[in-house]
Structure 1
Amino acid sequence: MKRVSAVMALAVASAFAQAAVTQTTRYVFISENNGKQMGEQVVENHDDGLTKVRYIYKDNGRGPELTEEFRLAADGTMSEYHVKGNSTFGAVVDEHFERKGGKAQWQSTSEAGAKDVSGAAVYVPLNGSFEADSRAIGALAKTPSASIALLPNGTLKQMVLDEVQVSGPNGQTQQVQLVAQTGLGLSPKFLWITKGANPSLFAAVAPGTFVFAVEGWQDNGKLLAERQKTAEAKLLNDLAAKLQHPLPGLTVVKNARIFDSNKATVGAASDIYLLRGRISAIVPAGTEVRGAANEIDAGGRIVLPGLFDMHGHITRWEGALHVAAGVTSLRDMGNDNAQLQLMIDETADGKLLAPQIVPAGFLEGESPYSSNGGFVVKTLDQSKRAIDWYAEHGYPQLKIYNSFPKEILKDTVAYAHLRGMRVSGHIPAGLRAQQALDAGYDEIQHINQVMLNFLFKPGVETRSLERFYLPAEKVAGLDFNSKEVKDFLATLKKKQIAIDPTLSAFAFLKQKDGDVNEPWAAVEGNMPPDVARGFHVGTMKIPDAATQARYDKSFNKMVQFVGIMYKAGVPIVAGTDDLAGFTLHSELALLVKAGLTPAEALQVATRNGARYTRTSAERGSIETGKLADLVLVDGDPTRNIEDVRKVSAVITRGQIVYPKEVDEALGIKPFVSETPAVKPLEAVPSNIAGSNDGVLRHIGTIGRKHD
């Protein structure tokens, strides 16, 4: 009888719980590339004022899984919020916020804080679902202006960019608006919201990646993506026009100390002449010349060739950050093909402030772990067709990913080589790095993929988070003097296999909650407060001090191994796969930590970048006839690599860009205070003779190197 009563009580409780839910809204993540579902967000609004959210997103074998609960105050902001779960790489998420009257307090695994508050204020979770954005939209609608205070700090602003009618199930239609929110991060956040007195989130679109929309309405994704790209283009064009300053006619950069990337040395002061985006002459500083339209006094600064970031997945809003860091060339290692072509065209037309992109074609196989960019293939014929497309669109390199079918790997690599492409990538599941080299790889991406060569055993799923946790656990105990390691090093050297270690991206392996990740420590103080706050959030699940110490030792040994490879004669390139611009500087600092000199690290980021993108004829060094990609730096980064962060001006594609202006536009505290100005000069006749004859002959040598 007691058992029956207990069962009845549970049934009543269950029925009551179901009745308490007044509305359930389901959102779905859909890949723009192949239409597959990548996740969902289920929102339950209960009649007692409690909202529960289940959120999951998976791509490339990883992604966050979260559960949230919150209540709202009368002004639409959260009075109580709690989220638990795991972040993208498995770190524990446990965060709580509460506001009572004028007192707000919050606590997570990485921080704890409190603040006196008056008026409406939106709390920003460190890890949260899109429902937090939806409630912020609702709170903004209740304010007299399109702005609201943020907690812990900042102000959220919103402007409407577009409006369109969308169609849904059963012939339904509704009006939705595209808004751009600023005050969070280093670029605007674009959201599609419902129109009316009580707006909420309708969709979020990452063009070329995913559509996140209310279930039943996701087929509007293509329409929303196209209109969003158009609206973003207007903002980006305006930003490019503001931050790029043309250098018409002949320009002289006076008193510049040129970094010779072939010798890794700094030469005597020189004057560099630029015309139509190319170096037309290099002469000793102080040589008299007439006929220049513009003069830039480098003031004895070191001038570097434009830097290469050899591992990016660029978005339209990241370009300015890259250029401000001195990155004038970026190798994109996998993107939505249509989106990348658009960015290449926009950059060439001067409509987008971004580095010149060297694209690598992305090739993946089908599996539950697949990444959804580029081409996803099953057969050799499909693989060849994808390679043909990439070759016809000017891609000099192919990148193969985790789920690529190992059975067709060797023939795929051979066909790419036949089409004149280099081949690199991750190591396909079920193989060791040595086997990828045997199949014809020219390069390997990421230090963890190199380390897995010594750690992989049959049955290990290297497409899951295991590809991060296994090196974090085991590299600490690897013997770099073992025969296995020495034989692999010998193979890398003999075949001249380039290694793209992306150390800055893998520093997260050792970061614990509350600490600042090593690559960001030097820039934290320059970042907007909300960005700096995120630097303290750990990525990996690190349960105790012993684990943290082990992971720290493993990462440091990975850094050490990059130095071992470099000294053994293995080519190294400098890539990031992380925060645009800033982490290339951090990558160079980690190369120095690995044992390279600062000048050698700069050589890797210039000469090697050009060499392994096959652009040496135009880039990678400062020589007559090459592209005028110049980076003016305060201090001496050949002695102190941290000085590479002090970029005072960047010249590329016939424009001069001042990082100070870029930083200020994006809410970043500038790294330099003085910038070299462009001084217009009086025009003089072009038929001058006399003491300037020799210089004028140099100026006429475009297309030929100056010896």
Structure 2
Amino acid sequence: MWIRLSVLLAIAPALQANEPRELRYDWLTQGERSGSLVTRVAADGQRSSHFEFSDRGRGPEIDETMRLNAAGLPVDLKVQGKSYMGAPVAESFSRDAETARWTSTLDSGERPVEGPVFYAAVDGTPDQTAVLARALLNAKDQRLALLPGGEARIDALQTHTFKVGGQTVQATLHAISGLGFTPTFVWLDEDDELFALSYGWMGLAPEGGSAVLEQVGPLQEEAEAAWLRQRAVELTQAMQGRWCLRDARWLDVDAGELNPASDILIDEGVISAVGAAGTAGCAGLPGIDAGGRVVLPGLWDMHVHAGASDGLLHIANGVTGARDLGNDHDEVLRLTAAFDSGKLIGPRLQRAGFIDKKSPYTAPTGMPVDTLEQALAQIDDYAEKGYPQVKIYSSIPPEWVAPMAERLHGHGMRLSGHIPAFMTAEQAVRQGFDEIQHINMLFLNFVADAETDTRTPARFMKVAEEAGTLDLDSAEVGAFISLLKEHDVVVDPTVAIFDQMFRHRSGELAPILRDVVDHMPPAVQRGARAGEIDINDDNAATYAASADALLGLVQRLHAAGVRLVPGTDGLVGFTLHRELELYAQAGIPNAEVIRLATSSAADIADMGTPVGRIAPGQAADLLVVDGDPLQDISALRRGVLVVRGDRVHRPDAIFRSLGIKPFAASIPRD
């Protein structure tokens, strides 16, 4: 059968043999080796990779074999192992002259293909990212169709010289678009082999070349910032001076009441007046017509670890305020300044300090300490820098909690965090906790025993296995809830991420994205089927019962008057919407859910600037939605305008820039 030359090249095996070679890399966490990637390239070009790292008892372990054709495209691929949270990984792909076939724990398919196409594995090793980058560099217009769907393109950004093991290496930073919401960055050496990957405090570098990561990180961050700065120019409407948001049905979030259509006068980013048409002083001023839609204060996400690229998703989803619960001090200050100035699109940021003790399970955030004296000194330093709160982590010894709380309270600061390992939540509350992060920490008060090391994934699995059997109406649980109320302990449930962890079986849609997945880029749609923990026929019902128990406890906490703060600790924007929907599902009235995510959260964040309400003197952080969230909480997903002080953003334009199909048509510019 006659086959065109382009098709033949697309499927032919690599034609030129090379000497076998081995590429070795270190996975680094805060500069310390915590894993590795080893790639062996055979004489016939077949690539075999093993990738693993450990992160507080979690981490992937993946074996991958790949055979490429003369164009550098996979024609045979096999991936085996486990994902970061332990879900099984089993994936294969093959291609002949006419057909591509694949199967994985997520899906399977068969499709006629002709010409260049790249199969993007769900859980491939970092070597596959470099293989894709090389294939893109060799492709026409540096673009390739992806299987099962989508398209990727590559741009070379900058080249630098590095020293590795006494040798000089030139490496180039490339940006691959089409795999997610924002570009994927990868460094390739002179041979277009993988050189480095940087993910903030984690990354990959040549074996023994940890200093490389310290160099490539800032360079990559600046490249990402340049991309984001351009988005800010394109996607921001400056509204300095006096202007009006007209014909807006505004929500009094404290009263839970929707007011008739009014005009909102904004002066230099601050609400100056709210009143019926003709009474707010809007005559003759420029403005934007809300068309009778509902306007509410911008939402707050009270549990993030802020990154520059998160800002776009925050604002597009109506999140105008966020609390960072663990980050590098200089980085969070840079982000705050960039978001506040408008150089980058993003929310207001409140920050919390972070302290953990050095251990095999130390969190990859901040500077871990060895002694209580060092921990107290860090508290003093955070106080001097103006932090209102410090979050502690799982490796803090229980006997440190009381003196740390005393020092924090002496500075007028709050203590929050994980419940330290081998300590109960009740003990932590009695010794000075002001806030507890994560709903699982409350369940551990009842299901953990003296042998449960909650520095490890046991803090998830123990709850997954036993929370469903806990009697939430027992005297023991009731007394604990009363203790939380008595001590005014705030709870940051992040229930959406645990609901997803306990329910999301590989091959099914992730609950967080299930209702919006059709709007996502193709690669994100497929990734939404990748489960986290190993859920199977034997444990699915048990884990689902535990997920139900999470919501049951959220409902009981709220009914008892325990203050809740909605946060994500995951994919920003979409996860917050899911968090709020789960609160409503748990039985909390929509008006209360909205109050928790606006005025109540803003009061707890305590920015020093009035924010979180629609009233004179409040910062003009506003979300205009298509629908009534008092009747349908999912209306929060349909933002049509977001005001962040003296700047206006249109969610549909931001979503399109991220490859996301908009959820509603935004209010156009005048």
TM-score for both structures, normalised by structure 1: 0.90
Note if contact 2:625-2:635 (Cα within 8 Å) is conserved in structure 1: yes
1:74 partner amino acid: A
Asked if 1:594 corresponds to 2:554, the answer is no
Which digits, 9 at most, give the CA deviation of each residue in 1:249-294, with x for residues without a partner? 2111111111111111112222110011101111223437466541
Corresponding residue number in structure 2 for 1:624: 616
Residue 617 of structure 1: CA displacement?
5.3
Which digits, 9 at most, give the CA deviation of each residue in 1:182-237, with x for residues without a partner? 01111111111113xx4121101123x12311113331222212222222222111
1:188 partner amino acid: P
Structure 1 CA distance for aligned equivalents of residues 607 and 134 of structure 2: 51
Corresponding residue number in structure 2 for 1:234: 226
Residue 388 of structure 1: CA displacement?
2.5
Give structure 2 stretches of 5+ with no counterpart.
1-17
Corresponding residue number in structure 2 for 1:200: 193
Structure 2 CA distance for aligned equivalents of residues 87 and 294 of structure 1: 53
Structure 2 CA distance for aligned equivalents of residues 454 and 290 of structure 1: 57
Note if contact 2:263-2:280 (Cα within 8 Å) is conserved in structure 1: no
**Aligned pair partner of 2:532 in 532, 539, 549:** 539
Residue 678 of structure 1: CA displacement?
4.6
1:347 partner amino acid: F
Corresponding residue number in structure 2 for 1:515: 508
Structure 1 CA distance for aligned equivalents of residues 219 and 497 of structure 2: 33
Alpha carbons of 1:419 and 1:292: their partners in 2 closer, same or farther (altered >3 Å)? farther
Residue 98 of structure 1: CA displacement?
1.1
Residue 123 of structure 1: CA displacement?
1.3
Corresponding residue number in structure 2 for 1:176: 171
Note if contact 2:130-2:186 (Cα within 8 Å) is conserved in structure 1: no
Corresponding residue number in structure 2 for 1:633: 625
Of 328-337 and 290-299, the range deviating more from structure 2: 290-299
Residue 309 of structure 1: CA displacement?
0.4
Note if contact 2:417-2:436 (Cα within 8 Å) is conserved in structure 1: yes
Note if contact 1:375-1:386 (Cα within 8 Å) is conserved in structure 2: no
Structure 1 segments of 4 or more deviating over 4 A? none
Alpha carbons of 1:288 and 1:636: their partners in 2 closer, same or farther (altered >3 Å)? closer
**Aligned pair partner of 1:120 in 100, 112, 116:** 116
Q: Secondary structure at the match of 2:223?
A: helix
Residue 58 of structure 1: CA displacement?
2.1
Which digits, 9 at most, give the CA deviation of each residue in 1:530-566, with x for residues without a partner? 101111111111232x410111111011111100110
Note if contact 2:164-2:206 (Cα within 8 Å) is conserved in structure 1: no
Structure 1 CA distance for aligned equivalents of residues 655 and 203 of structure 2: 30
Asked if 1:307 corresponds to 2:303, the answer is no
Residue 642 of structure 1: CA displacement?
0.8
Corresponding residue number in structure 1 for 2:101: 105
Residue 132 of structure 1: CA displacement?
0.4
Residue 89 of structure 1: CA displacement?
1.2
Corresponding residue number in structure 2 for 1:26: 24
Note if contact 2:265-2:281 (Cα within 8 Å) is conserved in structure 1: no
Structure 1 CA distance for aligned equivalents of residues 208 and 451 of structure 2: 39
Of 660-669 and 45-54, the range deviating more from structure 2: 45-54
Residue 21 of structure 1: CA displacement?
9.1
Alpha carbons of 1:292 and 1:605: their partners in 2 closer, same or farther (altered >3 Å)? farther
**Aligned pair partner of 2:90 in 90, 94, 101:** 94
1:541 partner amino acid: D
Asked if 1:549 corresponds to 2:545, the answer is no
Of 41-50 and 107-116, the range deviating more from structure 2: 41-50
**Aligned pair partner of 1:558 in 550, 564, 571:** 550
1:567 partner amino acid: A
Q: Secondary structure at the match of 1:228?
A: helix
Structure 2 CA distance for aligned equivalents of residues 400 and 288 of structure 1: 47
Alpha carbons of 1:395 and 1:21: their partners in 2 closer, same or farther (altered >3 Å)? farther
Q: Secondary structure at the match of 1:95?
A: strand
Asked if 1:676 corresponds to 2:667, the answer is yes
Corresponding residue number in structure 2 for 1:298: 290
1:260 partner amino acid: D
Note if contact 2:100-2:111 (Cα within 8 Å) is conserved in structure 1: yes
Identity %: 37
1:214 partner amino acid: P
Alpha carbons of 1:663 and 1:173: their partners in 2 closer, same or farther (altered >3 Å)? same
Note if contact 1:68-1:81 (Cα within 8 Å) is conserved in structure 2: yes
Structure 2 CA distance for aligned equivalents of residues 628 and 653 of structure 1: 5
2:179 partner amino acid: L
Structure 1 CA distance for aligned equivalents of residues 87 and 175 of structure 2: 30
Note if contact 1:378-1:405 (Cα within 8 Å) is conserved in structure 2: no
Corresponding residue number in structure 1 for 2:33: 37
Corresponding residue number in structure 1 for 2:330: 338
Note if contact 2:243-2:282 (Cα within 8 Å) is conserved in structure 1: no
Q: What value does the CA root-mean-square deviation take over the aligned residues? A: 1.6
Note if contact 1:141-1:199 (Cα within 8 Å) is conserved in structure 2: no
Q: Secondary structure at the match of 1:279?
A: strand
Note if contact 2:265-2:282 (Cα within 8 Å) is conserved in structure 1: no
1:160 partner amino acid: A
Note if contact 1:95-1:108 (Cα within 8 Å) is conserved in structure 2: yes
Note if contact 1:205-1:211 (Cα within 8 Å) is conserved in structure 2: yes
1:536 partner amino acid: R
Structure 2 CA distance for aligned equivalents of residues 393 and 532 of structure 1: 42
Higher-Rg structure is 1
Of 100-109 and 220-229, the range deviating more from structure 2: 220-229
Note if contact 2:240-2:269 (Cα within 8 Å) is conserved in structure 1: no
Q: Secondary structure at the match of 1:473?
A: helix
Corresponding residue number in structure 2 for 1:54: 50
Structure 2 CA distance for aligned equivalents of residues 64 and 569 of structure 1: 41
Alpha carbons of 1:159 and 1:349: their partners in 2 closer, same or farther (altered >3 Å)? same
Give structure 1 stretches of 5+ with no counterpart.
1-19, 680-707
- After TM superposition, the structure 1 = structure 2 runs for residues 270-419 of structure 1, keeping only pairs within 5 Å, are 270-287=262-279, 289=281, 292-419=284-411
Alpha carbons of 1:96 and 1:57: their partners in 2 closer, same or farther (altered >3 Å)? same
Residue 362 of structure 1: CA displacement?
1.3
Corresponding residue number in structure 1 for 2:3: none
